Structure 1
């Protein structure tokens, strides 16, 4: 049994539909809200939509197409990402000043524009991943923040606790 990604109902035969640009596996009732996606066989060289699960199951060794569904929540792209520290601008400025460099000298050393360094130090823009790694490497600093709240903090007792979102909110009558 698979859970409908739209309403949460258990369904034995989910349909893959495209709704508002997102490809979802839904039950027959929710399938009417989108356009059914047709994909070619997994053995062919290309598929119409590269994000379909049928394209991945051909290279899978075993019965399951997703390793994260067995006992926990699904893995997310954002789980792998590190968050930029709120005080990234201060960290960069202090490290630059500690190395006795001007903004111009730092920009020359990491092969970036002075205006970019100025904007980053003022907190006007976030550094790209490339610029962030250059700054961290050259200045010897870390610009990522340690996660303040992990996923376990949000579980509030795990899946067996019986709490729902409705239990956690206060209603205005």
Structure 2
């Protein structure tokens, strides 16, 4: 039995329909909400929407064994080497500007930005955009980014009594 992806009902033989560009396996009652997709007779829809972690297949294999790669290495994602704006970015900008003996107006002129932007950045009122951050780093010879700590701070150990999203939120009082 397969669950209908539209209404959640159990169905023995789901039909594949296209709704707003998405292909869904649905029960007979929900086929009216989309256009039925004709599939090749040699392939089944259950292999098309496999939940295994073996990756996407091109469909050239006719076997239904399912174990194509054995053990897989953990995929690297964009968060593995992520950096974020340093919490003391305002102090870093101000100190580097003063060491370079620039006034706020002179630095703004060198960066082709407004002096009010430099003032707001040094007060910590606003965050620099990526292009302004890069200009500041290049002109002042500083880094405004710092590495994000790894997953160890998020490891709650057991599934019970761990951290929740509410535990991590900083509230304004």
Instruction: Provide TM-score, normalisation by structure 2.
Output: 0.51
Name the CA distance, whole Å, in 2 between partners of 1:72 and 1:64. 13
2:81/2:147 contact within 8 Å kept? no
Give per-residue Cα distances to partners, 1:114-159, cap 9 Å, x unaligned.
1111101100000000000000000000001232x312453467xx
Q: What is the CA-CA distance between 1:167 and the residue it aligns to? A: 4.2
The residue that corresponds to 2:7 in the other structure is 32
DSSP-derived class of the 1:83 partner = strand
- Alpha-carbon distance in structure 2 between the residues aligned to 1:32 and 1:79: 38
| Cα distance, 1:134–1:30 mapped onto 2, change above 3 Å | same
Matched, 1:84 2:78: no
Q: State the distance in 1 between where 2:102 and 2:80 align.
A: 36
Give RMSD over aligned pairs.
Answer: 3.5
How many residues are aligned here? 111
Structure 1 CA distance, aligned partners of 2:7 and 2:143? 49
Give the aligned partner of residue 109 of structure 2.
108
How far residue 36 of structure 1 moved from its aligned partner, in angstroms, is 5.5
Q: 1:1-173 alignment to 2 at 5 Å?
A: 28=3, 31-32=6-7, 38-39=21-22, 64-65=55-56, 70-72=72-74, 75=77, 77-79=78-80, 81-147=82-148, 149-155=149-155, 163-164=158-159, 166-168=160-162
Q: Which has the larger radius of gyration?
A: 2
TM-score, reference length from structure 1: 0.51
Gaps of 5+ in 2: 9-17, 24-53, 58-71, 164-173
Cα distance in 2, alignment partners of residues 80 and 129 from structure 1: 17
